[in-house]
Amino acid sequence: MTHPVLRVEQVSKSFGGIRALNDVSIEIRASEVVGLIGANGSGKSTLLKVLSGLCQPDSGRITLRGEILKLKGVADAAKAGIGMVFQELSLLPNLSVAENIMLGHEDAALRAGFYDWKALRALAAVQLGKLGSRISPSARTDSLSFAEQQVVELAKVLAIEERSHNEPVILLDEPTSMLDAAHIEAVLEQIERLRGRSSVLFVTHRLDEALRVCDRIYVLSEGRCVAQRDRANFGIADLQQHMFGHKLGVARSDPGESPHPKTKSGLSVRALCRLPSYRDINFDLSSGEILGIAGVAGSGRESLCRALFGIEPPDSGEIVLDGQTLQLGEPADAVRLGIGYVPAERRIEGIVAGLSILENMTLVHLGGLCRGPFLDHAREKALVTHWIKQLHITPGAAATPAQHLSGGNQQKVVLAKWLVAGAPKILILDHPLRGLDVGAQRDITLLIRELAQSGIGILLIADTYEELITLSDSIIVMKDGVVSGHFPAATTKPSELQILERMT
């Protein structure tokens, strides 16, 4: 067995009264891919922040290759050979591949005070070569495909190898959570390539991914490390048992469940067009129906959803709700008319970081929570407390600032925002399960069904084909800005959707 490269011993970290890490001990051996999984709020990101120098532990010891490690910031971590790849790509699109890979370390290519561009490209080519890549170092980054950009991102992290004169330790924070199926595959392939060049700590909510690429897996629960085993000795059910203390049932439609109470009321979209994003879009969404939209990034589906919430008005066409033609100049119009929107980019569009859970949940509905001219604080508090409990939001104090919540818990707050003041007529859900642990995914899946059962029409963009098929009643496929097909979900297979999305 190889020796540990990185050893974390009894590390603790608290934020106010919250113990985010409680005596956590883990180790990563040379050339090993180690998985780190846990429910939302279990401490995964906090551990990565400690290891990348973004925050200091309160107690405990970290050693790297036998030497005690004290990190005052990310620059210290990079010097020691620890690099982090964040959820989203951090490359500068208008720079060349070589400039991105060597960013911050261009002095390695300085000759008599001038940049030697040939030397810079050669240094970058060395990093790309480590991953067996043939991408040209002089290519502009925004001319590359997503998968190629991901290779550049990893090559950039691998460049710390020369600076630290050691095999790097690479921290991957949910690198697949924002991606569609094809891109997830590309990232998992890159992780396989990293094995043997570096030691990797891989955080993911997708247990099947952890079981596929990791040699060993650690499970965190409420800030403690509760299990650690080789991949071969774990199964999905065991992992869930350790994460939640019990096995989870599967949130599938019960075949005996009565059909959604669909009615003739609902949303109709006619000849909607916004060039170059989409054109001639037509569909109906009845009350109580869940309509899934399949399509790859750039198919126009995100832009279409934004039009239906008044963020990006269409050039032409008609949006009709319950027989009334809507003029959606801005999101406030959509909210007033009963349309809710849970965006994919919740941390940017969904959450106001400086406000509390309570303020975030009630922000768009204050009018509906008033008794006469005054805000009914008791009712507001009772509703917010109800949804905190219903969605298992932790920490559960309504006054907690939203920026102190883990990513998954922030997401639950954004969803609750549309539920506190009575149901909207139409709810647009853009990747509603993204970033949630498997338990929360199951809770939200059941909740989405209940919302549809209660008569809300739901327009859904999902992370995976399976999620789209399981949740939807019917599915439209968008390709290059037009609707290329409309199918009942029950008889559609994931492979068919994949072909339809990419068919030319």
> Which residues in this chain contact ligand ATP in the complex, by CB under 6 A?
15-16, 18, 20, 38, 40-46, 394-395, 404-409
For ligand ATP, the closer of residues 175 and 314 by Cβ is: 175
- Residue 444 CB-density burial (10 A; 0-12 exposed, 13-18 middle, 19+ buried): buried
Given its phi and psi angles, is residue 245 left (phi above 0), alpha (psi -120 to 50 degrees) or beta? left
* Burial readout 368-394 (b: 16 or more C-beta within 10 A, e: otherwise): ebeeeeeeeeebbeebbeebbeebebb
The H-or-E segment that residue 430 falls in is: strand 426-430
For ligand ATP, the closer of residues 14 and 63 by Cβ is: 14
Q: Backbone phi, then psi, for 255, in 5-degree steps?
A: -60, -25
Amino acid identity, position 423: A
Closest contact distance (angstroms) between CB of 497 and ligand ATP is: 28
For ligand ATP, the closer of residues 44 and 274 by Cβ is: 44
Closest contact distance (angstroms) between CB of 317 and ligand ATP is: 38
For ligand ATP, the closer of residues 18 and 95 by Cβ is: 18
For ligand ATP, the closer of residues 15 and 490 by Cβ is: 15
Closest contact distance (angstroms) between CB of 169 and ligand ATP is: 19
Closest contact distance (angstroms) between CB of 382 and ligand ATP is: 23
Q: For residues 224 and 42, what is the distance between their CA atoms, to the nearest angstrom?
A: 8
The answer to whether the CB of 6 falls within 8 A of the CB of 64 is yes
- In angstroms, the Cα distances linking 175 to 91, 170, 207, 395, 443 are 14, 12, 14, 25, 23
Closest contact distance (angstroms) between CB of 55 and ligand ATP is: 8
Cα dihedral 384, 387, 389, 393 sign: negative
Specify the pairing of strand 224-230 against strand 216-221.
antiparallel
Q: For residues 486 and 496, what is the distance between their CA atoms, to the nearest angstrom?
A: 12
Closest contact distance (angstroms) between CB of 322 and ligand ATP is: 37
* Burial readout 50-66 (b: 16 or more C-beta within 10 A, e: otherwise): bbbbebebeebebebbe
For ligand ATP, the closer of residues 432 and 481 by Cβ is: 432
Closest contact distance (angstroms) between CB of 206 and ligand ATP is: 12
Q: Residue 1's closest CA among 228, 209, 216?
A: 216
Q: Backbone phi, then psi, for 18, in 5-degree steps?
A: -95, 125
For ligand ATP, the closer of residues 77 and 219 by Cβ is: 219
Closest contact distance (angstroms) between CB of 404 and ligand ATP is: 3
For ligand ATP, the closer of residues 166 and 385 by Cβ is: 385
